[in-house]
A and B are shown apart, each in its own frame.
Chain A
């Protein structure tokens, strides 16, 4: 649970950056501030070692550059661009046709295998869409590793936020 505490610290730090600005009076503004600082806090826990964390920081930097800079200034330099460039997107139809040609005539079981593989490929693509920076992960192995780490971090984030919210809401009811 030291990770919980670190996350909380960083999140608070991020929130304090918003505190002087008075525009944060609308709920949506505040929610945005909360969420962005939570995301950056979560990502900065990894200190640039994972692909998703870098991608997430960059994403939030496009939304609020100032926040990211402030939050990361104490820790390290802003993480650089992702090291891997996005995959070259091949024209799908052409790829499909060439694969069909290569397939020629295979047995039924092979066809099923191919269909299963296609399905898996679709799912992995779906996973890439969900995990930040997924498009930049060139191998499936990497993707799954990153997903693992991402899920753990997300869970931490959710746990801490939940406890804060629960406590706050419980306090209100009094």
Chain B
């Protein structure tokens, strides 16, 4: 029997599924025996105490009435409630189960579709709404995409995992499949769902802060969140300022802003279009070519026909500054192209 299903706990989908046959054979003794194994080491019977008092009673009622098969069959599904002869009990176990499922099933499944980031924020706020009946809480983590994208996030996943390692949970690590993660309370820690959820959030934040600390070199040795944040802000600002400075320098370097580098530096061996270009891994495109082929902005590859007959060129190893050469071409004096032919390709490649 699945009383554990009733706790909305580990089974997939978080729905309340019970087996009809199990119900019929339900004994209170089973119920009590199951609970200690489900819940944390700290409280053998505390979860029992947290059970709504009517639950055992209701279950009793149900078993009494379980002789009729339609009722039994109907429990498994989300059936329309029937009125019992016991007054207000309308499929008591079912409603309790559904209540629980509603409370604990994280609405992550809806939110998950919104995309990883917004989903994460939405679902992380859900646990705060949970009531504190259970010792187990479900909180959702929709961080997989982030974690998958950059391997650096593995740390935060590991952190989440290690925090659940002490418990006997099985399904918590499957972030990608399950909509929520089960976290058990550790010994001696507050067990209500609010604080558990808060603690999870705190752990998440701390894990990411650690990553940040590793990334930003200057805040390795600093203790304290505020100072670390300070350093991070400074770092970001300095990077932004650097971008400004570099773009200013680049603009000042020469009057033309456009540069044409073949970006096929990706190819390991470097593709050489012409044998005369010794030792260069880079193709160079010439400015007047670009003006002619304005249509092909987005197609770099089309612009790579160096006109050797026009430019006496001894191979790119010589740094011939584009400006000088452009003056030879009357057509160019209106153009705003520059070519960084002088860019030593190996240098650039190495720096990249």
Contacts and interface: CB of A to CB of B under 8 A. Distances in A.
Interface of A: 1-2, 4-5, 8-9, 12-13, 15-22, 24-25, 27-28, 30-31, 33-35, 38-39, 49-51, 70, 74, 83-84, 116, 119-120, 123-124, 126-127, 130-131, 137-142, 144-145, 147-152, 154-155, 157-172, 174
Contact of B229 (A127, A142, A169): A127
B218 to A, nearest CB: 12
B244 interface: yes
Contacts of B248: 27, 31
Interface in B326-344: 334-337, 340, 342-344
Contacts of B340: 164, 167-168, 171
B352 A151 contact: no
Contacts, number: 216
B42 interface: no
B310 interface: no
Given A83-B115, A157-B243, A9 B300 contact: yes
Interface of B: 114-118, 120-121, 124-125, 143, 145-146, 149-150, 152, 201, 204-205, 208-209, 211-212, 215-216, 225-226, 229-230, 232-233, 235-237, 239-240, 242-244, 246-255, 257-261, 263, 265-266, 290-291, 294, 297-298, 300, 319, 321, 334-337, 340, 342-344, 347-348, 351-352
A161 to B, nearest CB: 4
Dominant SS among interface residues on chain A: helix
A168 B216 contact: no
Contacts of B124: 139, 141
B239 A154 contact: yes
A88 to B, nearest CB: 15
Given A8-B352, A15-B257, A161-B247, A84 B121 contact: yes
Contact of A162 (B215, B232, B246): B246
Contacts of A9: 263, 300
B167 to A, nearest CB: 22
A24 B336 contact: yes
9 contacts: A12-B258, A12-B300, A35-B244, A35-B247, A124-B229, A140-B201, A141-B121, A164-B250, A171-B319
A4 B232 contact: no
Task: Return the 10 tightest CB-CB contacts between A and B, nearest first.
Answer: A171-B342, A163-B351, A30-B251, A123-B229, A31-B251, A35-B247, A154-B239, A34-B247, A161-B246, A144-B208
